[in-house]
Chain A
Amino acid sequence: QLQLQESGPGLVKSSETLSLTCTVSGGSIGPSSYYWGWIRQPPGRGLEWIATIYYTGTTYYNPSLKSRVTISIDTSKNQFSLKLTSVTAADTAVYYCARQIFSCSGGTCYPDYFDYWGQGTLVTVSS
C-alpha cells in the first residue's frame, strides 16, 4: 500500500522560507509513470494546487505562486520537496503531498487526478 508522509516545521516566521518534504513508501517515486504534487488548504477554505513534478524533473506550477515556489525530487531517497519563499500569514494552511496520475486525451498526456494523499501537515506562519 502506497503511503505518503509530509514532514517539516509546523511554524515558520513571516518573510522566511517554508520547506516541506514528502516521503513515499510502498512504491517507487521514479522511474515511474506517476507525477507527484503539493496541494494546500487554508483553515476553513478550499483546496489549492501548488505544484507538480515528474521524476525526470519536469515541473508545473500554480501561476499565482510560481515566483515563490520550487518543487524538487530526490529519487534516491524516494522523496520530493517543496520550498515556498517570502511567506506571509496567507500561506498558513494544511499542506498535502499526493501522487498524481496522468490522463491522455487527443493525443496529449498530462498529470491529472490525485489518487493517494498524505495526511497533511499544518504550517502556521507567525509574525
Chain B
Amino acid sequence: SYELTQPPSVSVSPGQTTSITCSGRGLRDKYVSWYQQKPGQSPLLVIYQDSRRPSGIPEQFSGSISGNTAALTISGTQAMDEADYYCQAWDSSTVIFGGGTKLTVL
C-alpha cells in the first residue's frame, strides 16, 4: 500500500524558516495537500495542489515538490505555528495521510 513519510518532529527558533518534508513513491505525479492541527482543534488546510494557499492562510506558508519529496515551508515561524502538520495525497482511489510532524517553536 502507498505510504507518505514525514519526520516525527521538527524544531525551529522563533522568526526562523523551517521546512517539513513528506516523501512518497511517485509523489511528483500526485497532488499534495498540507494540514495544520493544533491541540483540541480540527485540521486546517494550509496548502493544496502542492503549492496553492487557501484564502485566509498567511503567505508565510508555502508548498513545493521536488522529485518524490514535498515540503511545507514556514517562514518567520511564530509560537502560534506550533502544531502537528500532516501531508495528504490521493493514490489508487484512496486518501493517504502522512504520519504527521510535530513542529516545536523553541
Which A residues contact B (CB, under 8 angstroms)? 37, 39, 46-49, 52, 60-63, 96, 101, 103, 105, 110-115, 117-120
Contacts and interface: CB of A to CB of B under 8 A. Distances in A.
Interface in B5-62: 29-31, 33, 35, 37, 42-45, 48-49, 54
Contacts, number: 70
Contacts of A37: 95
A49 B97 contact: yes
Contact of A101 (B35, B48, B93): B48
How many of chain B's residues touch chain A, expressed as a range?
Answer: 20 to 34
Contacts of A52: 95
A-B pairs with lowest CB-CB distance, top 10? A49-B95, A113-B33, A117-B42, A113-B48, A46-B100, A47-B97, A103-B31, A46-B99, A115-B45, A60-B93
B2 to A, nearest CB: 10
Contacts of A105: 29-31
Contacts of B54: 115
A105 B49 CA distance: 10
B100 A115 contact: no
B96 interface: yes
